Structure 1
Amino acid sequence: MAEVPGRKQKEADQYWVSFGAGDKNIVAGLRLEQVRILVYRVITKSFQPLGITPEQAIILVEVHNSSAPMTPTRLGKIIRRDAAAISRILSRMQKNGTILLMKDLEYKNLIRIELTPKGTEICEGVEKIIKSQHAVLFKVLSETEVDSFLVMLEKINKVASDVLRHMKFKSDL
């Protein structure tokens, strides 16, 4: 945001990126990323007392709420991480005692993710923190604005998924 002569800028106004100022799509994309990073930092600090990261929190909640047994592949699709990243996160979680990685008895090459009692206990704290933080973060929006925001995010999500699916990478050539 450009500085307006004679007006003292609010601190938050000073820190928007200047790149793409003439293109609303660029500005919207960059601001979305800046806000995502800031919200991520708020959530990260909120989870520090539980000793987990936001990714670990999402994993705990997804495993807890899943009606079907959770697998690393399914989890990767939900939280949009590749297999290597999921493997690293799950390995850390198993070491800290929040999950168990169990070989499926029927399908030997399949791994199931289960919560430990510690993981279940932390999961309850996660849900409380998420609800309270998001209530604070979204209190500036009306219910209608939140609904509209969700519709917009879903539209952007669909387009980004389609674009990514059709992109060519060096490894694809």
Structure 2
Amino acid sequence: MKYLKYILGTFAMLVMVFLLIGVVKPQLTYEYDIMVDKPLAESWAVSQDEEKMSEWLEGFQKIEPISGTPGEVGSVSDVYFMDDGQEMVIRETITDIKPNQSISMLFTSDFMDMDYKLVMEAVDGKTKISSNTNCKGNGMVSKSLVALMGGFIKGQEETNLMNLKNTIEGNSKDYFAIIN
């Protein structure tokens, strides 16, 4: 019986420490930059092309418009991903967009909310792409998990942007052809 008390006490302490992590660090903020060897207009066009998203967003399946005009401020869409055979849906709301410059979005799910900004800037005929992300768990357990998974979440952003760089640099689609 004495061992059971120690085990339960240790378990209770671990749970409290786990939950305390979410109180101490309730959100995760990170930035990432890459340089792409393509001009700004093409880099922007590729990043906004739904047909190319599966090439740089791991598990991306489709975007389903919910309200508003797609690609404009205030538009709301459900973004579908496959993760280990499970379908995951994230609600995307465009909060700001400046074509060929930046797009800000709020992603919401049961697990967490993510405030995301992607900025592109021309630098000597190339494109500097920067992302700024702020994640916050939607509950005590989620906040703790976001804090503990910070390295994984940051790593996923790094992978996505490296995939975007490769997709842009490997692009052969002409987004600027004049149709008569």
Given the two structures, how large is their TM-score scaled by the length of structure 1? 0.28
Higher relative contact order (CA 8 A, sep 6+): 2
* Structure with the larger strand share: 2
TM-score normalised according to structure 2 size: 0.27
